[in-house]
Structures are given as structure tokens and as C-alpha cells.
Structure 1
Amino acid sequence: MRLRLCCVSTAGALCVLLLICGIALELTRVLQKLVNNTVKQQIVLENGTEAFSVWQNPPPPVYMQFYFFNLTNPAEVMSGDKPSVVQIGPYTYREYRPMEEVKFMDNGTRVAAINPKTYVFEPNMSRGSQDDLVRTVNIPAVTVMEKYKDSILARLISDLMKAKGVGVFETFRVGDLLWGYEDPLLKELHMLVPDDHFGLFYKKNGTEYDSYVLLTGKPDYQDFASIDEWNGQRSLNWWSSEECNMINGTDGASFHPIITKADRLYIFSSDLCRSLYVQYECDVSVQGVPGFRFVPPADVFSSPDINPDNAGFCVPPGHCLGSGLLNASVCKQGAPIIMSSPHFYQADQKFVDDIWGMKPIKEEHQTFADINPLTGIVLQGAKRVQVNVYLQQHSSFSQTGKIQTLVFPVMYINESAFIDEESAKKLHAVVLNANVVINIPFIVISVGILLGIIFIVLMCRQQMPPSTLAEREPLLSS
């Protein structure tokens, strides 16, 4: 009889525990929704919010590192041999990119701003100086030859290049190649070209800027910081399909809150002249703050035979270079610029094999963003892009010699950001508080289970016959 009472007591206790678990799980769902709703209300571009302050003046330092490829065998390349390059750098600059002239529109659902960028050289974080010399492609000369190869002016320009000693490869100062210099050939051709200066980032250092109209995250939190207009455009006009011309997502500096591993996050890159997407790769922790690592999958840059959605990026239409490459000449004033990941990471092996010195490594050359999933804040990230030039022979220009048709690497960029210690502490506190709130039901469950076990033990002990207890006392004492 007493054993039966013990079993009944145990069953009753278990029923109570199951009821507690059910209530706790439901409470967890309610609290999770409450936390999410609170975050959604706070992560919005609106005066007075922390999200707006971070967006307007990003606290984590951003650094732009430039790596150049120095050509070691120019004469052999002009005779048809494979180029051999040596990577030099990095040349590191601190990047400042505040949002200015901020103006809210449409009842606070959109915000307009300009985004000037300033770069300050950091010698202590660089390997070399801005006065270093690098031998690489003469991009202005190659651009002129490409533009006038079928023109009646080709012969005159070729003779002018011979007279001025202008060739396919030249030696430049790093600082000039980045920020601009007066090019002798462009100066002679001033009647044919809009500007006689050239630089990979010419007028980008505090002079020219991008203008944006962004969605604030009201009423839909998933629209937070999404680009609605870029430089007055709601779509691009460089590519041959509507899908490829879309301006999707944010600028990559921030994302909407409440991110899941199944999400596909879109980024618009003005450097690449296109939108792309990133997907979850793995969990990470940055200064104690949990995050998800998102990376662009290989499909983003695959050739149309692998990913038909990329057919619109082939220019002219139907002329595709292969996986991992983007012909950006249409948005680079006609210069034969080809964009890729550094060292042709995720590109067809052919492009790696065409150049001595290419060594693609995922950890060094992959673009990634580590994002806190609760707030959408970027903990650390790196945008890595390589600038290449398409080279080929032109019968109308003897300067091209017997050069092979190839994609020649000029330099690559590693634009990186890492959350500062103060911001990490604030974010860690937010995440910790949210976790405490969400985990309250699990604490209740744990306490309930513990109390239930104690209750069952006491009830069964009370129901045991005295003889059984007497028999157990010596065993317990021993």
C-alpha cells in the first residue's frame, strides 16, 4: 500500500513538473517575442536612438589596406611570356566615413544623407611608404588603346606614345597611383579625354562622395538601413538584366536586427558596381559577443553556365570572362577594369595559373561579415576586392607587342573594421540582459525539477516501512 502511495506521489510530482515545463516554454516564447519587439523598436534610424548615433558616426575604426603586385619581368611579358608578380604592402589608411547633411523624409520612413570618405595614411600599420615605386600596368595608356583601337586616330596616338616613350607597363609612386597624378599621355590628348589626371581613388579622398536615401526601419524592421536611392538612382543602368541592375540591401556597414542563420543578407557595393548577397557560414565570438559569420557564396560570382542569374553581368551581352570575374569597364569610364577577389580566390583556376605569384587563401582573401544576430551590428568584417586590367594585343598599337590575352592583377583592397572595446562592452551588456530575460523560464524549470526530486525522495522515504529504513541506516552510516 505504501509503495503504491509512493508511486502515486511520484506520478503527481511528474505531472506538476510537466505542467511547469509547459508553462515555462510558453513563457520563453512570450519573452523572446518581447525582447525581439523591443530590439525592433530601438534599432531604427531616428534621432535619439543608439542605432542612429552609430550609423551617423561609426565608432569602430575602419582601415583600408592596399596591396600592389609589382611586375618583375616586363620585357618577357611583352614577348609573350607569363607575368611574374610580387605582392608588396600593405599601405594602410584610416578611413573616416560619417553620414552628413542628414534629412528625414516621408514621416521618418526614409532618410537622406551624403557619405564623404577621408583617408589618412598610417605609417605604423604599413609596410613601406607612399613614395614606394611599383611597376604595373599603365592603365591610362591601356584605356586609350582599348578605346581607339578601331579608330582612324589609332596610328596618330600610337606615334604619340612612341614619341613620349609610353608603354603598357610603367613605374609609379604608390601615392600617385592611388590618389592621382597628371598623366603625360592624357595631357597630350586633352581634346579627347575629360581629365588629364588618373588615380585608382582619384577624387575619392574627401572630394567626391556618394549620396544615399535609406529606409529607416519604420514600419518594417527588416528595411533598416536598406538603400532606396544611390546617387539619385533607384536602379543601375550598366547591366543587361533588370535583376542585375537592382540596388539591394545596405552598404554593408550595418544590417537589420533579429537575424537568423537562414537569412540571405544583401549588400550594395559601389566599388563593384553591383549588389550581392551573403549567407551564414559559422558561429563566431568577437570580444565575448556572439555573432554569425556571413560570406558571399561562390554562386554570387559564378559564370552564367553555373548561375544563370549572372548572365546580365556579362558585357557586352553574352561575352563572359568566367567564374570569379566581373567586367567593370561599363562603370569605370571605359577603362578595361576587371574586378575579382584577391589572388583570384573562387575564380576559375585558369586566371590563377596565368600569373606567377597568385596564391589564393580563403582566410586572407575571402570577404566576410561577423554580425551579432540580435542587433544586426557588425562585430568585425573585411571587404576584399582586387582590381585587374584586361590586356590583349592590338594590331593598331605596336606597343602591345606579343603580349598574351590575360587578366593582369594591379592591386587589391582589404577594407576592414573591428568593433572597439567600449562598443563591445555596451553590446555585450545588451546581449547578456536579453539572454537573462529569455532564460528566466529555464531557471524556473531547473528549480522546479530540483524541488520535484526532493519532494519525491521525501514522500517515498516517508512511505517506506520502518524495517526497511532500519535496514538502510547501517548502510548509510557505513
Structure 2
Amino acid sequence: MKTCALLPGCCCDACSIGGCSLGECGGVVGAAAAAAGPMVAAAASIVKASSAKGKTAAAERDEATKKLRSAEDGYGDEEEEDDDEDDEDDDDYDEDTERGETASSTLSTSSCTGVVGEGSEAGTECCEVVAVGMVRAEPTKPRKKRGKGKAGGGGIARAARSRRVNRGIAFLAISGIISIIVGVLSIIWTPFDLFMNERLKMVRGLPAYEWWRNPPDEVLLRVYVFNITNGKEFLSGKEKLRVEEVGPFIFREKLRHTNITFNDNGTLTYVAHRTAHFLPEMNTLSLNASLVLPNLPLLGMASYLHDASFITKMSFNFFLKSFNAQPLVEMSVNDYFWNYSDPMLQTARQLLPFLVPVDNMGILHTIYQNFRDEVTVYIGPGNGDRFFLIDKYRGSRRLGYWDEEPCDVASGSSEGVAYPQFLTKNFTLLYLRKTLCRVTPLYYAQDVQRKGMLAYRFNLPNNSFDTSEKYPDNSCYIRDYSKEKLLPAGLLDVSPCYYDFPIAASFPHFMGGDLSLFNSMEGLHPENSKHGSYVIVEPITGVPMESRARSQSNLVIRNVTGIHRIGKFNGLIVPMFWAEYNQVGLPWYISSLMYFVVVILPSLQQVVSVVLILLGIGLLLVVLFGCFCTPVSVVHKHWGRNFPRKICLDEEKGDKACITKMCKNKPIIVPYSYSFLDLVPSSRSSSEIL
């Protein structure tokens, strides 16, 4: 049987290491051993050979020898083996590298069962251990692996592998440093604070700005009309006025913000435009329904002229007679809302434009015909405590309706779209609604839960429309001409907003009003849960989550003498309609974002910060451990299948690293210096690499 020319005592058909398969076997091996150097010769001297095991073993070895020689001649064919097998060998190589077994320990515990000598006979077996020596491997030209077009050859150069290892270590080090820096910064400047500051900036393209610029269609307008059910009996003096609430008639109020300008002083100027759109799918009542209603032009003009001269009143009586005007009219709901116009009103506007400035008194038409207002609000991180509070309304800090500033000031109020962040329970919300002709205060009432978040409910106090002596703070809403005859408690004069037409605001059904209001008519049933006003605000973000603003418009008919056809309406306050502006909620994407910011983010950011810091520390430890424990060069698997299973290699500093690869199911130690190793194709003979 042939023996290995490089390592005496190891048979060629069993080991095939370092080109052993091409060694001269069966003859004198002294020359080869001498060429291998004194370290190889010394190693060969400690190898023991095993005795022959019979003809069956010899036959198997002959067959193995043929296979090895076939592999040498057809090395390229072996390269076409499956990539899956190569990957499996790579895994074996990695696992064995981590074991870190040393050559010295293997040598001290291994033995060779065969008989070694020059011209070893057939039947000898491969030793389990072959001596370790220092052999400098010459670099070889890499081959291109056939089959799948991947680069192969006898092996991969040490330098290329070393560069990849160094790049990997650098990447881990940089990642660890960045992770620690981000973790520390996220504790100093938390994501929650950054998010809240970005909201204050109202940056174009971000959710806060886009949601405000095009608010979701979540505000519903419900209008209830008071139908007079006993008109003839009332006018004849037989019965008190009886009214019946008819509704709701449901509209959607659409809000648009245009002409948006970011000012240099930390404010934002825009034009708010509101419109109302009827929703047939949500209504059970028709706008074509016919109702008996007060004649607003007749009763309104008569009330306005209550203190006019005798001649003026006589002229007005002649005017009413020419049109046969009656104090009660029957009309459709749609006309009452949008198209309240008749020949008498049109003629009055032509003759007395100072008295009748419009020719359409439809109640919703009057509200929305010119619902465009220029508003300037505070924004920016420096205005967190007054975020989106009004700086100027229509270019002024005042409304321009009332004589005294406390009642006329608009600065510091809100239109209800947004409120300052981090609200407290002591904060007073100032709500500006154009239809109310004033700013109304809302005070904290209770905590509520909405969408899994804690929210504050602010209520409008029941005395908000009371200008009686009991509430002197509201005395500035009393105009000079009306001080002689004060309105009953629960009513607020809003005529300055409607061309001085005698209109008073109140809670629906005169809730909280004077008893005289209830004694003058029938059909009123005030109820706080149905007729009160409130807003529910998430206190951290200041976003309103739900609101109901309810108010009633009433026609004030003063005591009039000398004007006919007003009949029993003289000195009466007649309810016309009441409306509810209801923000029914928030779109799911806004409420979800709020939940993340308010509930999840404050807790999550602490966990993420700690994880980032620990991750960075861990990566740096891995880098330090790798620098001290990872060899400078990493041995790559040889593409051939006849390379030894186990390799123990010497480091330049004396350390050792082992890679196990079975040689006929037996571990073999090859004499290659780790630091200078370049694996060569199996077709290279041992004499060439020596």
C-alpha cells in the first residue's frame, strides 16, 4: 500500500492532506521527509503505524486510493457539487473554529495503530494524528468555480478575508457607539417632547397641520324649529302661545382654512370659511314640511320701531296694510332656513335700507351667508401655553360689538378647533362662536374616558346668558338703549351681530331662564343633559375629542304702542329655533395617533432608551472580545472534498485555533502555519507547497 510522501506513516488513500494524494507512495520516503524539513521529520518519527487488517481492508483502501486519484484528476468536477453541501461544510468549519482545540493537546492524546517505516506495506491505516510543523504556503491563483458561476479555486486569500473581518468589526463598533448615543439623547430629549414641539410648529405635511388645514367632516349641525300649534286661539286671546319642537334637521358643517400665512412673530394667519350642507341620509324629516311660524319681518320691524315717532308708526301701519301682513305665516322649513323672502321685505329694503339691510331673512342663510373670518393665532414652541389661542380676530384684538373691553375682547379665546397643550383643571377655556356674538367661558367639570385616554370635560355655566343684576360680570353686555328695560334672566342681547335686529340668545327651551319666560307660553321642557353645552378635551395635546355647543335664538318683541297687526305678541319673547353644533368625535387615524403619543410613547420611550444603551454596550463588548479572541486570518474551506477535516494552526503569537474536518471519519492535524496559510487546490502536490 502506498504511503504519504509528506507525512510518513499516513497512507494516501485514507488521509489525502496537503496534496498527499500525489505523493510517491510505496517507496523510500526519506527524501520527501527531508524535503519537508526537520519539523516534519521529527513529527513523523513519533507516528505509529497499525498492522494489516486483512484482505478486506486492503481492498477497501485500494478502492479509496482510486477515488482520491480520480478526485485529483477531476478536481473541477468536484467543484460542481451542490451549494447546499458547501454551506453545510461552512457551518461545520465555523463550529470547529470556535472550539479552539490546540494541536499540542491532540498530539499528546493520540496514537497511531499502524506500523510506520520506509516502504510501508499495504494494510497500514492512517494515523489519527499527524505532527504539526511550520510550513509556509505559497499563494495560489484562485480558480473560478464552475457550475453556478461563483468564484472558487483552491481557497480564498487570507488578506481578503481579513479585510472582511476588519470591516465587520468596524461596523459593529460604529453601530454600538451610535446606539449608545441615540439611547442617551432619547433620555435627554425624549421622543414625546420632540413630537409635541413639532406639533406646536405646525409644519406643513405633518399630521397636525394637515388635519387642521382640512378638518375631518365630524361636526354636525342639528336645528330644531318651534312650530306654533294654536295660532288662532292665541291671536284671539283665548290661549297662551303653545309651541312644539320640530326636529332635528341635520346638516354637516364644513370648515375650510385658506390664505394661510406664517408670520415672523410666532403667529399664523388664515381665513376660516364655514358652510352647512343638508344630509338627507341622516334625516327623518323633510325640508318641505310646512310649519306655522312668527312673521319675522313684521314683528322684527315693529319691535325695532317701538320708540319711534307717531308719524313713523302710522306710516309703518299703512305699509303693513298694503301687503296685508299677518303676525303668523305658514311656510316650508326650507324657506324658513334658506329663503325667507317676500314682497313686503323686498319693498321695505328698497324704501328703508337703514331699517331692513337684507332681503332674505332665512335663519341659516343669515348665519352662513358671510361666514368668512380672518383669524390670527399663536403657534410655535414658545407659545405652548397659548397654542392656537386668538391673537387677532378680523385684524383686531376686539370683536367690535360691545362698548366695554372685557365683553368685547377676542384675544386669548379659541374657535374650538384646538386648545393649548398640557391643560390643567384650573384652566378656563374661552370659546368664540360668531353666532353667539361673544366669548363664552367653559370651566372644568369632571374627568372622563374617551378612546382609552383620560380627558377633561369643561361645561358652559348655566348663567352664561344671564345679564341680570345677579351676575354683574355680564353687565357689559347690556347696551345703553336697553338699560331702561332689561331682558329677563337667561337672555343675552345679540342684536349687534344681526344688524340690530331684536334677537336674544339663551339656552334651549330657556333653560336656566326667568320663570316669566315659561309662564308666557306652553311647550317648553328644559333639560340639562339635552340642552347644556360642554367640550371634552384631551389635556396633554389640547385636542377636542367631543363637544356640543347649544344655543337658542329668540325674537324679542318689545312693548309697542301705535302699531297694529302684532296682536298678542306685544311684549313677548318668542323662541324661533335652537341649534346644536356637535363634534361627534375624531377620525380613527387621529385618535390612534393621539393614543400612541399620550399612552404608549411615554412608557415605550423609556424602554427603548434603555434597550438602545444596553445594545450599544453589548456590541462594543463583542467588538472588544473579537479583537482579542478572533485570529487575524480566518481559514476558508477548501473547495475540494479531500482536504482534512480538522486543522490546528499556530498563530504568530503562539495561540492556536482548530478547524475540524474529518478525514475518513478520523481527525487529522496538518502542518500549516495559520498566519501564512493560503489553501491550495488539491491538485497541487505537497512538494509544490513546500
TM-score (ref. length: structure 1): 0.79
> Is the Cα contact below 8 Å between 1:139 and 1:335 reproduced in 2?
no
Letter in 2 for 1:182: S
Residue 278 of structure 1: SS of its match in structure 2? strand
After superposition, residues 421-432 of structure 1 pair within 5 angstroms as: 421-432=588-599
- Give the counterpart of 1:373 among 539, 560, 567: 539
Match of 1:116 in 2: 273
1:217 and 1:398 mapped to 2: Cα distance?
60
Match of 2:242 in 1: 84
1:354 and 1:31 mapped to 2: Cα distance?
66
1:163 and 1:191 mapped to 2: Cα distance?
14
2:406 and 2:559 mapped to 1: Cα distance?
34
Which protein is bigger by CA-based radius of gyration? 2
- Give the counterpart of 1:199 among 358, 362, 369: 362
Residue 382 of structure 2: SS of its match in structure 1? coil
Residue 303 of structure 1: SS of its match in structure 2? coil
- Could you tell which deviates more after superposition, 213-222 or 113-122? 213-222
Which string of whole-angstrom CA distances, capped at 9 and with x for unpartnered residues, describes residues 356-394 of structure 1? 111111111111111111111111111111111112442
- Give the counterpart of 1:54 among 208, 211, 214: 211
Which string of whole-angstrom CA distances, capped at 9 and with x for unpartnered residues, describes residues 78-130 of structure 1? 345421111111111111101111111124x1112111222221122223111
Residues 419 and 60 of structure 1, relative CA distance in 2, 3 Å threshold: farther
Match of 1:419 in 2: 586
Residues 36 and 170 of structure 1, relative CA distance in 2, 3 Å threshold: farther
- Give the counterpart of 1:267 among 431, 443, 449: 431
Runs of 4 or more above 6 Å deviation: 30-34
Task: Establish whether residue 172 from structure 1 lines up as the match of residue 335 from structure 2.
Answer: no
Shift of 1:304: 4.4
Task: Establish whether residue 93 from structure 1 lines up as the match of residue 251 from structure 2.
Answer: yes
Match of 2:290 in 1: 133
> Is the Cα contact below 8 Å between 1:78 and 1:400 reproduced in 2?
no
User: How many residues of Structure 1 are paired with residues of Structure 2 in the alignment?
Assistant: 411
Q: Percent identity?
A: 25
1:222 and 1:134 mapped to 2: Cα distance?
49
Residues 408 and 439 of structure 1, relative CA distance in 2, 3 Å threshold: farther
> Is the Cα contact below 8 Å between 2:303 and 2:559 reproduced in 1?
no
Shift of 1:138: 1.5
Letter in 2 for 1:153: T
Which string of whole-angstrom CA distances, capped at 9 and with x for unpartnered residues, describes residues 320-342 of structure 1? 32332111112211211010111
- Give the counterpart of 2:225 among 59, 68, 77: 68
Residue 402 of structure 1: SS of its match in structure 2? helix
Shift of 1:33: 9.6
After superposition, residues 37-52 of structure 1 pair within 5 angstroms as: 38-52=195-209
Residues 327 and 73 of structure 1, relative CA distance in 2, 3 Å threshold: same
Residues 60 and 161 of structure 1, relative CA distance in 2, 3 Å threshold: same
Match of 2:414 in 1: 250
Residue 400 of structure 2: SS of its match in structure 1? coil
Letter in 1 for 2:209: F
- Give the counterpart of 2:314 among 155, 166, 176: 155
Match of 2:555 in 1: 389
- Give the counterpart of 2:395 among 229, 232, 241: 232
Match of 2:61 in 1: none
Letter in 2 for 1:119: A
Match of 2:134 in 1: none
Residues 222 and 65 of structure 1, relative CA distance in 2, 3 Å threshold: same
1:79 and 1:33 mapped to 2: Cα distance?
74
Letter in 2 for 1:166: A
After superposition, residues 282-293 of structure 1 pair within 5 angstroms as: 282-293=446-457
Residue 370 of structure 1: SS of its match in structure 2? strand
1:302 and 1:66 mapped to 2: Cα distance?
23
Match of 1:358 in 2: 524
Which string of whole-angstrom CA distances, capped at 9 and with x for unpartnered residues, describes residues 191-250 of structure 1? 212332221122655764222122224522122111222223321332232211111411
Match of 2:379 in 1: 216
> Is the Cα contact below 8 Å between 2:190 and 2:605 reproduced in 1?
no
1:159 and 1:70 mapped to 2: Cα distance?
29
Residues 240 and 207 of structure 1, relative CA distance in 2, 3 Å threshold: closer
Higher strand share: 1
1:241 and 1:314 mapped to 2: Cα distance?
10
> Is the Cα contact below 8 Å between 1:179 and 1:204 reproduced in 2?
no
> Is the Cα contact below 8 Å between 1:372 and 1:379 reproduced in 2?
yes
Match of 1:26 in 2: none
> Is the Cα contact below 8 Å between 1:212 and 1:230 reproduced in 2?
yes
Shift of 1:408: 1.1
Residue 301 of structure 1: SS of its match in structure 2? coil
> Is the Cα contact below 8 Å between 1:384 and 1:415 reproduced in 2?
yes
Which string of whole-angstrom CA distances, capped at 9 and with x for unpartnered residues, describes residues 103-162 of structure 1? 11124x111211122222112222311112222222222222123341423222212212
Shift of 1:285: 1.9
Task: Establish whether residue 294 from structure 1 lines up as the match of residue 458 from structure 2.
Answer: yes
1:73 and 1:304 mapped to 2: Cα distance?
31
1:435 and 1:103 mapped to 2: Cα distance?
33
Residues 223 and 184 of structure 1, relative CA distance in 2, 3 Å threshold: same
Shift of 1:46: 3.8
